[in-house]
Structure 1
Amino acid sequence: MGFLDIKNVTKSYGQLEVLHRVDISVEEGEFLVLVGPSGCGKSTLLGMIAGLENISSGEIAIRGRVVNGVHPSKRNIAMVFQSYALYPNMTVGQNITFGLEMHGVPKPEREKALTEVARLLQIDHLVDRKPGQLSGGQRQRVAMGRALVRDPDVFLFDEPLSNLDAKLRVDMRTEIKKLHEKLKTTIVYVTHDQIEAMTLSTRIAVMNKGYIQQLGTPKEIYDTPANVFVATFMGSPAMNVMPARVVVRDGVPHAAVRDGEGGEQLLRFSQQNLVSWDGREILLGIRPEAITDPEGADRKSKNIVGLKNRVVVTEPAGSDTFVTMTLGAKDVIGRMRADTDVHAGQVFDFAVNMEKAVAFDPKTEERIRP
């Protein structure tokens, strides 16, 4: 039993089921991120944990106590919304302590809690200002302060950074991460941004169309995606996925894939279970950073395979250069060092780290497991 248990939970609106048998157990102190495209059900699931949405079937328990039907105010959770939901006529200090006042906490205790939280979030110089006098990042800190001051069992964050500009999002991401590592609080965090999911979480639940596609650590999700959806949703740029055929040579499976010149290239697999797939079609998945120049290849890998192919496009991006070629009639992106001497139209000697390759069944789009 976890600290927060979501057991076989569904959500229906009339005859339409939008969440399908969700099972997640969150341990105390975990940072779970629910990530997926718009409409996948992640905010609905968060609302059910908070008590803002009714549960159609299944149960949700916090600290072993089933909270189905329990009013949100009785669940000892705190929620930080995308819109911040601050009272414009109250000062920062009043916004932060309003919930405590409503629960009858004496003024000296409220003031002590305000002082501690404001110092922690570095907004102690703002407590007498109104929300309209604050920047987006400052308003976000106030919303977090209002949640922190209550010392709840579980913190719920609903896309809290989506209204911030790119730089401020990165800064606030760091602040939330530091806060979690300092306080060891239990957090469930909703986002559609897979970079947020990867950097903040201890575990990620990737959602699509109301189903949990994969639940695991950021490394598990990134290195061994359960299916094509997870592979292409998580990562920036996304994993390259291209049609290929398994060819076994001397007992070793290879991926046979068409190159940009109409020829066929053989890429040796590390995954020996693919011997049984000899002659069958697969989908080959390779992350951009596993396709580079020979000098930039991973020195620790025991399976770097050479690939000669024509470059279609190069995109300098500061610290990296992204190089596009054609494989399996698909645009395939490699991630090179910034100073790599490569240009469009050139036939280039690529180095592919096949230890990082993943194979998917083209019928089910599920990963072919070792």
Structure 2
Amino acid sequence: MGFLDIRNVTKSYGPVQVLHRIDIAVEEGEFLVLVGPSGCGKSTLLNMIAGLEGISGGEIAIKGRVVNGVHPSKRNIAMVFQSYALYPNMTVGQNMTFGLEMHGVPKPERDRALADVAKLLQIETLLDRKPGQLSGGQRQRVAMGRALVRNPDVFLFDEPLSNLDAKLRVDMRTEIKKLHQKLRTTIVYVTHDQIEALTLSTRIAVMNKGHVQQLGTPKEIYDTPSNLFVATFMGSPAMNIVPATVVMENGHPHAAITDADGTPRNLRFSQPNLARWEGKPILLGIRPEAITDPEGADRKSGNIQPLTNRVTVTEPAGSDTFVTMTLSGRDTIARMRADAAVAAGQTFEFAVNMEKAVAFDPTTEERITP
């Protein structure tokens, strides 16, 4: 049993079911991120935890107490919205303590909570201003402060950074991470941004079409995606997916692919279990950073495979250079050092870290596991 338990939860609007048997146990102090494309059901699930949406089936429990049908004000949760939802006619201080006032908290206690949270968020100088006098980042801090003063059991964040510009989004991401590390609060956070999901979370639930596709740590989600959707949704650039056939060579399973000229190339797998797929088609998954030049290859890997191929495009990106080639008729991206000596049109010897390769069943699109 978790601190927050989502048990076999479903949600339907008439005959249309939008959430399908969601089971997630969130431990106390955990930072769970719900991530997925628009319309996948992540915000609906968050609203159900908050009590803003009814539950069609299953149970949601907080600290062992089932809250189905319990009014949002009785759940001891706090929510930070995408739109900030600040009262324009109130000062920052009034916005932050309004909820406490409505719950009958005495003024001295409200003032102490306000002072503590304002100091924590470094917004002491803003308390007498109105929301219209604040920047987007300052408004988001106030919205977070309004949640923090209540000292709730669970914090719910609904895409809180999506209205901010790129640099401020990165800055606020760091602030939220620091805040969680300091307070060890239980957080459920919704985003469609997979970079936010990977950097903020202790665990991630990847959602699509009302289903949880995979639940795991950022490393588990990134390194061992459970299916093609997770593999291609998480990571930027996305995981390369290359059609291949499993062949045996010297007693080891290999991925048989073709280069830009159609010449056969074999890459040895590190997973011996793929021998049972001999002669069968698979989809080979390789992250861009697992394909590089020989000098930039991972020295700790025990399975770096050479691959000669023609370069199609190079894209300098400051700290990295992205190199595109063709494998089995698919554009495949390699991530190299900024100073890698590679140019479009040349034949280049790539180094492929096959310890990082994963294989998918092309029929079910599920990862092939040991």
Q: Helix, strand or coil: the match of 1:2?
A: coil
Residue in 1 aligned with 2:226?
A: 226
Q: Which deviations, in whole Å up to 9, do the C-alpha atoms of 1:71-102 show, x marking residues without a partner?
A: 00000000000000000000000000000000
Q: Which deviations, in whole Å up to 9, do the C-alpha atoms of 1:41-61 show, x marking residues without a partner?
A: 000000000000000000000
Residue in 2 aligned with 1:116?
A: 116
Residue in 2 aligned with 1:184?
A: 184
Q: Helix, strand or coil: the match of 2:325?
A: strand
Q: Helix, strand or coil: the match of 1:189?
A: strand
Residue in 1 aligned with 2:204?
A: 204
Q: Helix, strand or coil: the match of 2:261?
A: coil
How far does residue 163 in structure 1 lie from its aligned partner after superposition? 0.1
Q: TM-score, normalised by structure 1?
A: 1.00
Residue in 2 aligned with 1:101?
A: 101
Provide the rounded CA distance (Å) in 2 between the counterparts of 1:110 and 1:252. 68
Q: Which amino acid in 1 is paired with 2:86?
A: L
Q: TM-score, normalised by structure 2?
A: 1.00
Residue in 2 aligned with 1:260?
A: 260
Q: Which amino acid in 1 is paired with 2:203?
A: R
Residue in 1 aligned with 2:159?
A: 159
Q: Which runs of 5+ in 1 are unaligned?
A: none
Provide the rounded CA distance (Å) in 2 between the counterparts of 1:166 and 1:334. 25
Equivalent residues of 2:262, 2:328 under 8 A apart: no
Provide the rounded CA distance (Å) in 2 between the counterparts of 1:318 and 1:157. 32
How far does residue 157 in structure 1 lie from its aligned partner after superposition? 0.1
The reply to whether residue 328 of structure 1 matches residue 351 of structure 2 is no
Q: Helix, strand or coil: the match of 1:246?
A: strand
Equivalent residues of 2:324, 2:334 under 8 A apart: yes
Q: Helix, strand or coil: the match of 2:332?
A: strand
Residue in 1 aligned with 2:144?
A: 144
Provide the rounded CA distance (Å) in 2 between the counterparts of 1:122 and 1:265. 58
Q: Which deviations, in whole Å up to 9, do the C-alpha atoms of 1:9-42 show, x marking residues without a partner?
A: 0000000000000000000000000000000000
Q: Which amino acid in 2 is paired with 1:14?
A: G
Q: Helix, strand or coil: the match of 1:93?
A: helix
Q: Which amino acid in 2 is paired with 1:187?
A: I
Q: Which deviations, in whole Å up to 9, do the C-alpha atoms of 1:171-226 show, x marking residues without a partner?
A: 00000000000000000000000000000000000000000000000000000000
Provide the rounded CA distance (Å) in 2 between the counterparts of 1:190 and 1:248. 44
Provide the rounded CA distance (Å) in 1 between the counterparts of 2:264 and 2:140. 53
Residue in 2 aligned with 1:14?
A: 14
Provide the rounded CA distance (Å) in 2 between the counterparts of 1:303 and 1:160. 42
**Cα root mean square deviation, aligned:** 0.3
Q: Which amino acid in 1 is paired with 2:31?
A: F
Residue in 1 aligned with 2:126?
A: 126
Q: Helix, strand or coil: the match of 1:7?
A: strand
Provide the rounded CA distance (Å) in 2 between the counterparts of 1:89 and 1:265. 68
Q: Which amino acid in 2 is paired with 1:245?
A: T
How far does residue 251 in structure 1 lie from its aligned partner after superposition? 1.4
Residue in 2 aligned with 1:271?
A: 271
Q: Helix, strand or coil: the match of 2:260?
A: coil
Which is further off, 207-216 or 244-253? 244-253
How far does residue 242 in structure 1 lie from its aligned partner after superposition? 1.1
Runs (4 or more) in structure 1 with deviation over 6 Å come to none
The reply to whether residue 363 of structure 1 matches residue 363 of structure 2 is yes
How far does residue 250 in structure 1 lie from its aligned partner after superposition? 1.9
Q: Which amino acid in 1 is paired with 2:166?
A: A
Provide the rounded CA distance (Å) in 2 between the counterparts of 1:77 and 1:256. 53
How far does residue 328 in structure 1 lie from its aligned partner after superposition? 1.4
The reply to whether residue 349 of structure 1 matches residue 349 of structure 2 is yes
Provide the rounded CA distance (Å) in 2 between the counterparts of 1:238 and 1:15. 35
How far does residue 310 in structure 1 lie from its aligned partner after superposition? 0.2
Provide the rounded CA distance (Å) in 2 between the counterparts of 1:103 and 1:273. 60
Residue in 2 aligned with 1:310?
A: 310
Q: Helix, strand or coil: the match of 1:17?
A: strand
The total of aligned residue pairs comes to 370
Residue in 2 aligned with 1:41?
A: 41
Q: Helix, strand or coil: the match of 2:331?
A: strand
